Structure 1
Amino acid sequence: MAPYEPEQDTSEAGELRVGRRKAARYVVPVAVAGVAAATIGLVPALATSGDPDLPKVTAQELMEKIAASDTQQLSGTVKISTDLGLPSMGGMAGGFAGGGGGADRGGDDEGGGGSAADPKNKLMELASGTHTLRVAADGPDKQKVSVLEDAAEYSLIHNGDEVWAYDSASNEAYHAKGFQVSGEKGDKGDKGEAEPPAGMPATPEEFAEQALKAVDDTTSVKVDGTAQVAGRDAYRLVIEPKQSGSTVGRITVAVDAKTGTPLKFTLTPSSGGAAVIDAGFTKVDFGKPSASTFDFAPPKGAKVTEADEHSALSRDFKGRDFKDHDFTDKAKGGKEFKEEDLNDLKVIGEGWTSIAELRLPGGQGLPTAGSGDVPPDAQKLLDSLGDQVSGKFGSGTVFSTRLINALVTDDGKVYAGAVTKDALVKAANAAHQA
């Protein structure tokens, strides 16, 4: 196997950060939070069947190869796993998001029921456990993702200006028209604007894009040998924080040697153990998928929710001015919620150890049993989920996962990031003294 150069400082690769915004240095803590608060039991990291002998490349050349990759057509199977170290919620997450369970989740929009097939709800289920997905793409206007379950399947299909989603378990479908992948406004007509379905990354390429946006001078990037993934020869690109205090240990991306397409993404925490996120192709074909792959018609008897119907209530809500509106019952001593309470976000530090600081609405900490706001049993559960800490800032509670940690102080401030508990306390102390 060809030798590989020692670790490369990414300050030499500034020209590679095509389209990266100034704030991109904060993307990994935030994007990884979205991916984690948003992703993956565990697929063995970068499972290989031998290390192929490939020509030597530098980290800069490999990042260029990824940036230049223009894979428009593919189909295959992806296995995605998350292990955030959280207790299992079973089907609760999907139930809350969908407004209920089973075939009765659809309900009436005005009653807040929503649709069991709504992508914003369904794809969030990828945030925990292990899932198998079938994916297909044919250019920017045709994509399909199917989540395979034990006795059911959920499919999200984008074909031209239409998006269909179908949940076979509940026999519900979700339909949106006027969709444009560019993010531009769709055909308004009488139905409002069509928007892309919100969800978490579902392929190694989407995960890798988020990680590469955060590459800056706080990051070490190197090529660490080769691998074979889904029968394809690949280089292994390793991304690591240079700073101490991050919960991110390393990110490994297996990059297809021929196309530059990321085939596998693995995020390992600094604490060690199983990967927090592991997503990779187990089968992949870069040929053109059959046109029928992207055809869909709802089965007979399926409940169909139109996107404009489902979003009508939210558009009405969005159009109103709620500044200085009281969302609580003043008769019960509630505090007034103001729009400006959400506009005090600050970012402390940079790169992998950046921390978001914000105030909770109302300027007070978590409700407690002592204040009469929380039942004693609920307080015990809350206490069991967090660690009590104190410092110059006062006292508070740290809620932890294997990747994202958040400190909620008793005076209503929140410090959150992909950093250790000690880093949060240090940031809160520094902010208090500032």
Structure 2
Amino acid sequence: MAPIDSDDNRTAGEGEELRAGRRKAARYVVPVAVMGVAAATIGLVPALADSGDPDLPKVTAEQLIEKIAKSDVQQMSGTVRINTDLGLPDLGGLESGLMSGMSAGPGAGGDGEGSAADPSAKLTELVSGSHTLRVAVDGPDRQKLSLMENAAEYSLIHNGDDVWGYDSKSNEVYHSTTSGSDGRPEKDVPRKDVPRKDVPEKDVPATPKDFADQALKAVDDTTSVTVGGTAQVAGRDAYRLVVEPKQDGSTVGAITVAVDAETGTPLKFTLTPASGGAAVVDVGFTKVSFAKPDASTFDFTPPEGAKVTKGDESAKAPEHGRPAEGGLAEGLDGLEVVGEGWNAIATFDTGARGGLPTASPDGDLGALGGFLGSFGDQVKGDFGSGTVFKTRLVNALITDDGKVYAGAVTKDALVKAADAAR
């Protein structure tokens, strides 16, 4: 990453160590499942609520990022609260369905195939609303994430070579294995500082560290990074790391990461929009422990009578990190990125002349038409005309000749990008 905006002086060697440390910080992930392009775009920011301002030794932004990078917490457990408010209209759960379709997960299809316990579909629920998660980690080979629901629970367990997903509401089980994909013997246990090649990385951020890693990847010379005081999160003393765009035109106001003063582990992540108001994404521990979880935490046996679906038996199951056939993401083959830093805009051509349809011949908008039409603005420019669909963070311009421009930027920035590409 490029240099941070800071008044502190450092040598070239120190700068190299800092960049190396950031690269290390960006690869610490809890492996779970894929979600698709939407979550990757959303996984940027949070607003911080705290319960005190502890008196801690002063640190610089560079030192705090180094603390995150050097954090080597291998064992922890706790409860995480996720609140996501993109400002989408209330469509009775349709927004989650659309996100599931984007991920092309087999459990998201309407054909009755696949498994309700498939994580590639189930975890898309995290992109909207409020959710409570219980997490446990014991090194690179054992993790558990449980999504708590009303009178139900969804659990994703990685234990050695096995990955289990269990949906108590439907009594369905999803099972896949992680061994053998790189020809390595099972007895070959990876070093703790090297990610396993046969374990899929998680594209759906679920813990404060997941979100913080995504945010730190965006740090470059278009970014200001400062230390914004201290806080107390889940009973732990923490520093606040504040990340802000320097560029005009971004919808991102600021990202605040609460970093545990003792371990360097991110405890809370908050993204506030440039327009003000409540956080778009707010993810934080309400309880946390760095003690070794009990080994039985990661044990799983399918309940009697449960429907068990093997990973390679799922209908149209995608490879980890790749969209399945027929998913909405399939149309993104020509995806390009214009601009840089916080003003980067993704663009592609849908091939749909006349723009996206807003009504059928009988006047029925349908689910997609209603979803888009509820927050679309008509715009014109040198490019022609089109419609801008807005959330509190991500905006998209769909032109009448079928081109799409999307990013965490303002409506004017999208129109300018479309004009420049004319």
Q: Which TM-score tier does this pair reach, normalised by the shorter chain? A: 0.7 to 0.9
How many angstroms does 1:127 deviate by?
0.8
Distance 2:212 2:100 in 1: 29
Determine if the alignment matches structure 1 residue 408 to structure 2 residue 398: yes
Query: Which residue number corresponds to residue 34 of structure 1?
Result: 39
Question: Match of 1:84, as an amino acid?
Answer: L
Query: Which residue number corresponds to residue 136 of structure 2?
Result: 136
Distance 2:7 2:382 in 1: 37
Q: Do 2:159 and 2:299's aligned partners in 1 also have CA atoms closer than 8 Å? A: yes
Q: Deviations over 1:163-212 (max 9, x none)?
A: 011111111111112358xx957899xxxx97637551000000000000
Q: Do 1:98 and 1:114's aligned partners in 2 also have CA atoms closer than 8 Å? A: no
* Aligned residue among 300, 309, 312 for 1:296: 300
Query: Which residue number corresponds to residue 275 of structure 1?
Result: 279
Alpha-carbon spacing, 1:368–1:90, altered in 2? closer, same or farther (3 Å): closer
Distance 2:236 2:22 in 1: 29
TM-score, normalised to structure 2, is 0.80
Query: Which residue number corresponds to residue 58 of structure 1?
Result: 60
How many angstroms does 1:219 deviate by?
0.2
Question: Match of 1:376, as an amino acid?
Answer: G
More displaced 10-residue stretch of structure 1: 343-352 or 359-368 = 359-368
Query: Which residue number corresponds to residue 365 of structure 2?
Result: 378
Distance 1:397 1:185 in 2: 50
Question: Match of 1:130, as an amino acid?
Answer: S
* Aligned residue among 253, 276, 287 for 2:257: 253
Alpha-carbon spacing, 1:222–1:97, altered in 2? closer, same or farther (3 Å): closer
Distance 1:95 1:349 in 2: 31
Q: Deviations over 1:293-341 (max 9, x none)?
A: 00000111111111111156768xx9x9x9xxxx9xxxxxxxxxxx9x8
Alpha-carbon spacing, 1:249–1:152, altered in 2? closer, same or farther (3 Å): same
Question: Match of 1:63, as an amino acid?
Answer: I
Tell me, which stretches of 5 or more residues in structure 1 are unaligned? 1-5, 25-30, 100-104, 328-338
Q: Do 1:48 and 1:229's aligned partners in 2 also have CA atoms closer than 8 Å? A: yes
Query: Which residue number corresponds to residue 190 of structure 2?
Result: none
How many angstroms does 1:88 deviate by?
2.6
Determine if the alignment matches structure 1 residue 399 to structure 2 residue 389: yes
Distance 1:297 1:255 in 2: 36
Alpha-carbon spacing, 1:391–1:63, altered in 2? closer, same or farther (3 Å): same
CA RMSD between the two structures: 3.6
How many angstroms does 1:411 deviate by?
1.1
User: Which of structures 1 and 2 has the larger relative contact order (alpha carbons within 8 angstroms, sep 6+)?
Assistant: 2
Alpha-carbon spacing, 1:419–1:196, altered in 2? closer, same or farther (3 Å): same
How many angstroms does 1:367 deviate by?
2.8
Distance 1:195 1:348 in 2: 32
Q: Do 2:96 and 2:128's aligned partners in 1 also have CA atoms closer than 8 Å? A: no
Structure of higher CA gyration radius: 1
Question: Match of 1:141, as an amino acid?
Answer: D
Within a 5 Å distance, the mapping from 1:131-280 to structure 2 comes to: 131-179=131-179, 196=200, 199-280=203-284
SS of 1:17's equivalent in the other structure is helix
Q: Do 2:22 and 2:216's aligned partners in 1 also have CA atoms closer than 8 Å? A: no
Question: Match of 2:217, as an amino acid?
Answer: K
Question: Match of 2:226, as an amino acid?
Answer: K
**% identical aligned pairs:** 65
Q: Do 1:80 and 1:130's aligned partners in 2 also have CA atoms closer than 8 Å? A: yes
Aligned residue pairs, count: 381
How many angstroms does 1:375 deviate by?
4.2
Distance 2:404 2:112 in 1: 29
